[in-house]
Amino acid sequence: MIDMYQEDLVFRTAGEGDILNLSGPLQQVVSRSGVRDGIVCAYVPGSTAALTTIEYEPGVLADLMDALEAVASSEKNYAHDQAWGDGNGRSHVRAALIGPSLTIPVSHGTIRTGRWQQPVLIELDVRASRERTIVCSVIGI
C-alpha cells in the first residue's frame, strides 16, 4: 500500500543570495513520514525563491550567484520593476530559471543524494529577510 505524508518546513532567510542546505530537514521529514522507499517532493511557494541541488561549499555557492548575476544582471532594467517599482525583476527571472521544486528518491528511509550533492533553498528576493515555507510531500511504501 502506498503512503503519502505532507509537512511544511519554515525557514527565515537572510536576504538575497542566502542559500540554505536542506539535507537534514528533508531527511527528518522523510524519517517522520515512515516511508521506506519512494520519493520526497519539495516545493517553495512564491516566485522569488528556488530549489535545486548543488555541492554546499562556499566556492561553488559563490560561483552559482556569479552565474545568476551573468544571466539576470542586477544592473539591467526589468519591465517588472517599471510596472511594480519593487526592484526585484531579477529575482523573478532567476527563480524561474532555477525552478520552485525538487524531487529526490528515497531508499531504505534515506534521501538518495550524491556524495557532493545537497538540496538547497536559494533566496533570490532583494528584500533583507523573508520567511519561506517549503511544502514537502513524501510518497512511497
- Please give the pLDDT value at position 127: 85
All structural domains of the chain: 3-140 (2.60.120.460)
- Please give the pLDDT value at position 31: 98
Of 74, 79, 91, residue with least CA distance to 130: 91
- Please give the pLDDT value at position 37: 98
Of 11, 27, 21, residue with least CA distance to 56: 21
> Region 9-35: what's the mean pLDDT?
98
Say which amino acid occupies 1. Answer: M
Above 90 in pLDDT, residue 128?
no
Structure-block grid coordinates of residue 139: 510518497
Angle, helices 58-71/89-98, rounded to nearest 10 degrees: 120
- Please give the pLDDT value at position 38: 98
